[in-house]
Each structure stands twice: as structure tokens, then as C-alpha cells.
Amino acid sequence: MEIVLPELILLEDFEGDYTKFIEFIYSVFQSDFIKHKTGFRGEELRLKWHPVYLDKAYTFYHMTHKGEDEQNRIPDLRRCERLPWAKPVIENCDKWNLKIWPQNRKGASRLCIWLELKGEPDYFVILDIRKNYKLLWTAFVAEYEHEKRKKQKEFEEWLKTQKPPES
């Protein structure tokens, strides 16, 4: 199965104007996740809205900024460039046979979806599992090889817990 993704959205396409760039990225986010709802395995995804950051949904902030300290996250151009990938990755994860596994992070149950492409950094989409729905949490690019190794180890550990299908 061939994986077809939208083109990257580059800051240079906006002549280096970060404000125009981020507003365009947000318009893509609005189209993909607010105006036209995205589904995961037949279930509609929800977004985290609060705290609103610069008049934008908090999920958008998490998908386009990085950092451990919530108060001091910084823009991540690689996340921004690939934001249009999130919707097709989520909606086609099974068709594209992507790696998907549950994770526990700081007491939260999450699902990790891993897109591996030749010639591109690996891309991850994280969904938060709530009682009656899934919440789009974040998406990011693996910047370093050790990040991919860590994710691969997590995936393999999860696989070990899976029972083979009964005959």
C-alpha cells in the first residue's frame, strides 16, 4: 500500500514570515480537526481546547511546539511543516499498516501511531484515551536515532504482551 501524504508546508513558502506561516498552519488544523472531524477507527476524535494559547486550541499548541515545561514550549518548524500529515496518519493507520500501541505516560493512557518513511524523519501521532472517546494529544518528529530506538523498544515490549490469534 502506497502512503500518500500532503506536501510539507514550509516557512520559506511564506518568505520567512512566521505569523503568516503559523496562521496558515492553523487554518489547516481547523479544516482537518475542527470543521471536518477526524475519526480514529470509527470514533470521532476530540481536541483539548484549554488553556487556549494565542487564541488557538491547546492541541494545536502541542502539535506545533516542543518542550518539557508547558509554560516554555517553543515553536518546532518540523512539527509545523508536517501538521497536514496528522489527519491522514490517524485515518489511514490500519490501511497503511502503521505501528500502533498503547503507552502509559504520567498516569495517562495513550496510543502511539508511528509513521516510518524512507528519506523522512519518523512521525508520531499521540492520542489520549479517555473513558468514552479519544483526544488528539500531540504529534512530533523523531529528531534523534535514540528516540526511534526507544519507541521501537516500547513497541516490541508491547508486542510481547499480545496473544497470538486462536486457531
pLDDT in tens, 60-105: 988 999 887 767 788 899 999 999 999 999 999 999 999 999 998 8
Q: How many CB atoms sit inside 10 A of residue 126's CB?
A: 19
pLDDT at 21 over 90: yes
Mean pLDDT, the chain, as a whole number?
90
pLDDT of residue 129: 92
Between residues 1 and 117, the one the model is more confident about = 117
Residue at grid coordinates 485515518: 91
pLDDT at 165 over 70: no
pLDDT at 167 over 60: no
Alpha-carbon distance 90 to 114, whole Å? 10
Percentage of the chain modeled with pLDDT above 70: 94
Between residues 132 and 114, the one the model is more confident about = 114
Written as one letter, the residue type at 159 is: L
> Do 27 and 36 form a contact (C-beta atoms < 8 A)?
no
pLDDT of residue 53: 65
DSSP-based three-state secondary structure for 126:
strand
Between residues 73 and 135, the one the model is more confident about = 135
Task: Look up residue 10 and give its DSSP letter.
Answer: -
Give per-residue pLDDT as tens, 39-49: 899 888 998 87
Alpha-carbon distance 162 to 132, whole Å? 24
Element holding 7 (H helix, E strand):
none
Domain boundaries defined on the chain: 11-160
What is the pTM for the complete model shown? 0.91
Partners of 75 in the β-ladder: 65
Residues found in the chain? 167
pLDDT of residue 162: 85
